[in-house]
Amino acid sequence: MARRRRRRRPWHRTRAYRLVRTALLAVVLVTVGVRCGGDDGPADPVRASREEPGPAREGPPPDPLPRSRPTSLRIPSLGVDAPVTGVGLDRDRQLETPPIGTPKLVGWYRGGPTPGESGTAVAVGHRDTSTGPAVFAALAQVKPGKLIEAKRADGRTAVYTVDQVKVYDKAGFPDEEVYGPTGRPELRVLTCGGLFSRRTGYTSNVVVFAHLTATG
């Protein structure tokens, strides 16, 4: 797409944009690094194990689901109900984002877990584009305890509960904290955040941490 003079650049096309680099999908674990706008390249894969407890809930955790591609993502508290497309890595090992012409589309990293699978799944979306707010414009406002529902091609639904929302400066993004492997199904939903500069893009990343609490 040709650039128009003085047009605000979409967040996924800011200078030296970096999101995800993956090293391995081993059975049900995937480890990735993430960058959003930094000057450095993707971090080396994180191999340390990590398991962070979520908020208390009744009953045992649900069993992980088998593999099935995602079809839609809902965040009811934000009014988000969006179709999902698979995204991969480009030749520079950067995560492809949903097409800029479809700002309400969510990208799900197809090299990682599908909804409800064990491991850390990754969903990404635009915060805004040159035409206005996009699917994750209000992502930073989601509260702990709220639900994220990911529907699957097999008709089942993976329901995640939000544990926390963090905003990280792009210059010091903690790959291990965000994407270290886990022993349970978890989800990271991310977009850009912080301040915007025409020269350097957004200053931060918004990351939602969630874990599987129900299946349907």
Task: Tell me the domains of the chain and their CATH numbers.
Answer: 11-48+70-215 (2.40.260.10)
pLDDT > 70: percent of the chain:
72
Rounded Cα distance between 10 and 84, Å, is 19
> Which segment of 16-25, 64-73, 186-195, 199-208 scores lowest on mean pLDDT?
16-25
- The highest-confidence range among 8-22, 50-64, 78-92, 150-164, by mean pLDDT, is 150-164
Mean pLDDT across 106-117: 95
pLDDT in tens, 141-195: 999 999 999 999 999 999 999 999 999 887 787 777 887 788 899 999 989 887 7
Look at residue 193 in the predicted model and tell me its pLDDT: 83
Please report the DSSP string for the chain in residue order. Answer: -PPPTTPPPPGGGSTT----EEEEEETTEEEEE--SS-SS-PPPPP--------S--SSPPPPPPPP--EEEEEEGGGTEEEEEEEE-B-TTS-B----TT-TTPEEEETTSPPTTSSEEEEEE--SEETTEE-TTTTGGGPPTT-EEEEEETTS-EEEEEEEEEEEEEGGG--HHHHH---SSEEEEEEEEEEEEETTTEEEEEEEEEEEEEEE-
Q: Look at residue 97 and tell me whether its pLDDT is greater than 70.
A: yes
The tokens for 112 are: 């990682």
Q: What is the mean pLDDT of residues 92-108?
A: 86
Model pTM score: 0.73
**Pick the residue with more confidence: 165 or 34?**
165
